[in-house]
């Protein structure tokens, strides 16, 4: 068994206080508690058609036997890209899955979220970050909220938000690309409170802007902000925006979203930190959600300065799997009852760029590879770290003009639902697949569009699939859009 670096005796008392479980706590004062707006009684707006909406065809009736589940956050209701939805159609006609509606959007990489009969889109339209409340069945809009934003991606990627809307009952939360956070009333889009976290907390620079989706835990909103010298992770009162605590003083904000894990019967916040810093630093923070005390830090970050941590931690019982694609790959941590982190196994060949691996029946599935042409779909046994298989999944598509196009999943996304797997490839390929320890099998496949940077996990709700096309479609020439597909079984 490998011995954790946290069990090595340390002579320096300062380091000892930092590394022993439950000893790292920051004393952070709220630099600018926000105003909480007094709002009039809500009036439910009427959903109306608008110029960017194209309605195609009403979806089939939902089966009375179908199970449904909301999609209130980035990775769904259970934060693991697994949905409890059933009675989905798993074959495609020649023309592909039937479109219900589509909405032209601006720039961004966010996932549509849906709950309580409302869908929320977050994108940048021209020079404004834009939140829209949509009827998920028709695409009609209930309300729109916009505010100005100034951001240019230094590497030439798009300039929109990366953090998806979080739905929490009567409120929704957004975190923009420049770290402006809003709490809006879900029914009408009225501002309850807002903060400019970059200005207030002196947030460190980021390669690609702010990219972590907040987490709601009880009465707290957990945000991975990465302030200079700390805090790395902050908790705000979700109703008034006041700072409850800050945690971590060494690592910057990553592109990984914090999650809640129950480890040894205790709720803990897991945050895979590590963004832009020189020298590069980062790793896993395990935090008590009530006090903000750091139980442990486990360094896991490539030594390359131009690298980030982006995939979310995956909880496997009392273990936690981390992965990054720049050099170190994956590691499975055994969390002891005393809240030490002992590496159980390492997997240099399981280095995921930005998708979060999906755990199913004791096996982890994800896309290994930093670049698109390197990427391979892999399966690892969670208990031992044994690689079961890897599959490139390549084929040739014939474009409408007759030209052949070499296609593959590349750095795709996986969604487990209704006993099978939906896979959205990096260039717009949609597949139903069977994934198991013995291998991968394609059930159905269709090229729904041909667009680069299809990096956003789709969402599913009430038998409808919502896919974000983040760049221009080279087949139809349609710009960025959200497309609703009917997957309801007959």
CB 475 within 8 A of CB 466: no
Residue percentage of the chain with pLDDT more than 70: 95
**pLDDT category of residue 21 using cuts at 50, 70 and 90:** low
Beta strands 215-217 and 220-224 are antiparallel
* 100-143 pLDDT, tens digit each: 999 999 999 999 999 999 999 999 999 999 999 999 999 999 99
Q: Per-residue pLDDT tens for 405-434?
A: 999 999 999 999 999 999 999 999 999 999
CB 448 within 8 A of CB 60: no
Identify which of 405, 433, 401 has the alpha carbon closest to the alpha carbon of residue 420: 433
Instruction: Identify which of 339, 335, 202, 356 has the alpha carbon closest to the alpha carbon of residue 272.
Output: 356
Say if residue 311's pLDDT is above 90: yes
pLDDT at 400: 82
Domains and CATH numbers, the chain: 5-486 (2.130.10.10)
Q: Is the pLDDT of residue 5 over 70?
A: no
pTM of the model: 0.94
CB atoms within 10 A of CB 4: 16
Question: For residue 346, what are the CA distances in angstroms to 181, 258, 322?
Answer: 36, 22, 10
Hey, which residues does 486 pair with through a beta bridge? 98, 464
The pLDDT mean for the chain works out to 94
Is residue 126 reached through a cis peptide bond, with omega within 30 degrees of 0 on the bond before it?
Answer: no
Indicate the pLDDT class of residue 22, thresholds 50, 70 and 90: low
Question: Which residue from 287, 364, 362 is spatially nearest to 322, judged by alpha carbons?
Answer: 364
């Amino acid at each position: 068994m490998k011995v954790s670096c946290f069990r090595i005796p340390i002579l320096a008392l300062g380091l000892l206080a930092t590394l022993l479980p439950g000893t790292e706590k920051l004393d952070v004062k709220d630099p600018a508690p926000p105003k909480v707006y007094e709002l009039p009684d809500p009036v439910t707006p009427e959903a109306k058609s608008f110029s960017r909406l194209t309605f195609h065809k009403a979806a089939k009736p939902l089966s009375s036997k179908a199970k449904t589940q909301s999609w209130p956050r980035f990775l769904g209701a259970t934060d693991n890209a697994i949905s409890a939805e059933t009675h989905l159609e798993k074959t495609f006609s020649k023309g592909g899955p039937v479109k219900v509606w589509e909405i032209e959007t601006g720039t961004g990489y966010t996932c549509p979220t849906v709950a309580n009969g409302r869908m929320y889109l977050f994108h940048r339209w021209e020079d404004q970050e834009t939140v829209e409340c949509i009827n998920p069945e028709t695409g009609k809009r209930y309300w729109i909220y916009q505010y100005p934003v100034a951001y240019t991606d230094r590497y030439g990627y798009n300039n929109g938000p990366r953090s998806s809307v979080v739905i929490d009952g009567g409120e929704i939360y957004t975190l923009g690309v420049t770290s402006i956070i809003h709490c809006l009333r879900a029914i009408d889009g009225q501002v309850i409170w807002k903060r400019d976290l970059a200005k207030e907390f002196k947030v460190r620079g980021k390669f690609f802007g702010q990219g972590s989706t907040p987490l709601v835990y009880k009465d707290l909103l957990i945000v991975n902000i990465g302030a200079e010298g700390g805090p790395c992770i902050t908790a705000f009162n979700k109703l008034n925006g006041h700072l409850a605590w800050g945690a971590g003083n060494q690592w910057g904000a990553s592109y990984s979203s914090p999650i809640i894990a129950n480890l040894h019967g205790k709720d803990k916040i897991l945050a895979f930190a590590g963004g832009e810093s020189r020298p590069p630093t980062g790793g896993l923070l395990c935090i008590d959600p009530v006090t903000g005390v750091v139980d442990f830090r486990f360094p896991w970050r490539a030594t390359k300065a131009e690298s980030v941590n982006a995939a979310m931690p995956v909880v496997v019982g009392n273990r936690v799997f981390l992965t990054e694609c720049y050099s170190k790959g994956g590691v499975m941590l055994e969390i002891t009852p005393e809240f030490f982190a002992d590496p159980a196994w390492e997997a240099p060949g399981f280095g995921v760029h930005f998708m979060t691996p999906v755990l199913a029946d004791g096996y982890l599935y994800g896309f290994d590879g930093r670049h698109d042409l390197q990427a391979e779909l892999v399966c690892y046994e969670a208990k031992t770290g044994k690689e079961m298989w890897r599959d490139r999944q390549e084929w040739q598509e014939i474009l409408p003009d007759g030209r052949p196009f070499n296609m593959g999943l590349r750095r795709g996304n996986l969604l487990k639902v209704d006993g099978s797997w939906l896979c959205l490839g990096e260039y717009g390929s949609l597949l139903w697949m069977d994934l198991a320890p013995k291998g991968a099998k394609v059930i159905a496949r269709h090229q729904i569009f041909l667009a680069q940077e299809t990096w956003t996990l789709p969402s599913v709700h009430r038998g409808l699939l919502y896919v974000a096309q983040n760049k221009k479609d080279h087949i139809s020439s349609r710009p960025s859009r959200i497309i609703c597909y009917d997957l309801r079984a007959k």
